[in-house]
Amino acid sequence: MKGKNKPTSVDIAHLAGVSQPTVSRALRNSPLVSLETRLRVQKIAQELNYKVDVNARNLRSQRTNTLALLLFEDKGEGERFINPFFLSMLGSITRATANRGYDLLVSFQQLSDDWNAEYEDANKADGIIFLGYGDYTTYIKRISELDRQGAHFVTWGPVIENQPGLFVGCNNEQGGQLGTQHLINNGHTKIAFLGDESKDYPEFRDRYRGYLNAHQESKVSVDESLRFNAFFSEESGYAATKELIKSNKEFTAISCASDLIAIGAIKALRENGLKVPNDIAIVGFDDIPTAEHLAPALTTIRQDTFAAGQALVDSVLMLVNDEKEVSSTLLETKLIIRDSCGTHNG
């Protein structure tokens, strides 16, 4: 520490081999830090005669009793839109926040390149909830920086081993398997899949894995040429289905990675004289509010938005309050059978 007037938490972090936020937590005996790390950090602080800046700590610990909910805007054709699944989750998050005595600040992720500075450091919110993220590879880099800063945040998204940050998500692989298994149980063996399987879209990738699992368990062979890329919009589902039809591949059913993709698929099928479910059966994923009002009503995989909203709020507040060790949460899915999936007798 030669040449410095007084040691800082950054100095301690360097010597202890941990992040600066971990030092802050260790010095206040947070249970989020292991006992071994706490003792090591506290020993180094004592050796350096480190003194906590009480005024700065008090300033940082001021509570707003507000949580920030940041929505991701998907790119449509020339416009941006919010996935209706997230809008359906908004009510449950608002209710869960109010039940915990907090207010909810709703905004968009594009407003700032530094979310932590914009909300927590600016004393606008005690914690942040993210709904949606675009491509995972880009998002996780920003999440890693937030995690390094010790921000209090949780994301609705895929739960992946050793990922930075805290996530709440549904069991996408289980859901993908439920939907495809339902199609197979109804006699379909030529099932197309509309969705992405790359590392940029891990939720869709897991739904595709579920699709593969259902085929394997039922001993039905998979035609990999029946998978067509589609993303988060009706337009994408429409375009992928047009490609599927143009390929002249034989298929009697489509497993879609989202309800929006399924809606676009139904439109493309109708334009080509194919009826749902008489000619082609369709299964979606999400159970957005419009799914049951389509004609035919959409068979889909339901993600429990009530449980999701509760889990997101509880998780971020456990971080804010240093209540206990917090881990990512994986919620189960449910098959909702409606009219878009008929029996194949061919």
CATH number of 66-169+304-330: 3.40.50.2300
- How confident is the model at residue 165, as a pLDDT? 87
With 80 as the cut, is the pLDDT of residue 65 above it?
yes
Q: Place domain 172-303 in its CATH homologous superfamily.
A: Response regulator (3.40.50.2300)
The answer to whether the CB of 336 falls within 8 A of the CB of 301 is yes
Average pLDDT over all residues of the chain? 87
Max mean pLDDT range (51-55, 62-66, 149-153, 262-266): 262-266
For 34, the token pair is 């292991």
Domain ranges of the chain: 9-60, 66-169+304-330, 172-303
pLDDT at 3: 44
Q: Would you call 137 helix, strand, or coil by DSSP?
A: helix
pTM, rounded to two decimals:
0.79
Report helix angle 259-271 to 234-246, nearest 10. Answer: 50
DSSP assigned state of 286: B
Predicted confidence (pLDDT) per residue in 100-142, tens digit: 999 999 988 864 556 655 666 557 888 999 998 878 888 888 8
What Rg value do the Cα atoms of the chain yield, rounded? 24
**Tell me, what's the pLDDT at 114?**
62
Q: Note the pLDDT of residue 87.
A: 85
pLDDT band at 143 (very low <50, low <70, confident <90, very high): confident
Is residue 58 pLDDT above 50, yes or no?
no
pLDDT mean over 322-343: 90
Same CATH fold, 172-303 and 9-60?
no
Domain 9-60 top-level CATH class = mainly alpha
pLDDT score of 167: 95
Nearest-angstrom CA–CA distance, 34 and 22:
10
What is the model's pLDDT at position 145?
Answer: 79
pLDDT confidence of residue 110: 62
Whole-number pLDDT of residue 77: 47
Q: What is the pLDDT, as a whole number, of residue 243?
A: 97
Q: Tokens for 198?
A: 């790359």
Alpha helices in the chain (DSSP H): 9-16, 20-27, 35-47, 54-60, 84-99, 115-118, 136-149, 172-185, 202-217, 234-246, 259-271, 305-320
Q: pLDDT class for 76, splitting at 50, 70, 90?
A: low
Contact 302, 310 (CB under 8 A): no
pLDDT of residue 181: 98
In angstroms, the CA 157 to CA 141 distance is 15
pLDDT number for residue 111: 45
